Amino acid sequence: MTNSAVAYLRVSSKGQTNGDGFERQEDVINRYASKHNVEVKRVFREDVSGVTSETDRPAFQEMISELLKNGCRTVVVERLDRLAREYRIQETLLIYLASKGITLINAATEEDVTEAIMADPMKKALIQMQGVFSELEKNLLVKKLRVARERKRAVNGKCEGRKSYSERAPEVLQEVKALRRKKKGHSRRSFSQIAEILNNKGFRNSVGNIFTGKGVSSLYSRNV
């Protein structure tokens, strides 16, 4: 069975970028992937210092976003110092990845780094705490958006979703209202008569078909 993963490469100088930094890292990762029947779906290349946190790593952020969407949950690096050179940043990134359910593999040692840190009770607790706070942050965002939608709905009567036919074609509704309006000395037009007039003028309903009396009646009753 073939497992899928992405590769994360990092260099911290122009010399490494223009030299063999990326090439060497990718070569080590590909050898690991071939040995362990892993398909590398995508390679993310970062050119930042090894002491830079995840917030200042555009390729790292793009990688996380992609992993959370596509179902792949494994990242392979050449060595841990390619994830981060400074231990404090390295540990922060590892805990962050683990809290998202993402496994990190060290290609050089073939070690499942995530499994190793999960064996440490203190680090496992930190991972769980980060997961809890991530979930809390998500819930707060959902609540904030819901409150905003409700506020907008209270003001406008509508907040989201597909626009109604009357919103997309207000001229048709105006025509229906004008045709339905009773003129002095004349009887009110029926909805079937209005439908015939609309069709003769080239108007069509929300799905592009001709109007029927029932359709005009429904449109009129919903907006009057």
Lowest mean pLDDT among 12-26, 98-112, 126-140, 207-221: 126-140
Q: Please give the DSSP secondary-structure letter assigned to residue 74.
A: E
Per-residue pLDDT tens digits for 200-224: 888 888 888 898 989 888 888 888 7
Residue 46 has which token pair? Answer: 């970062």
Distance CA 148, CA 157 (A): 13
Distance CA 18, CA 1 (A): 36
Per-residue pLDDT tens digits for 51-110: 666 667 889 989 998 898 888 999 999 998 898 888 888 888 888 888 888 999 999 999
Contacts of 42 (CB under 8 A, 6+ apart): 6, 7, 66
Name the residue type at position 27: D
Residue 31 has which token pair? Answer: 């050898």
Asked whether the beta carbons of 26 and 32 are under 8 A apart, the reply is no
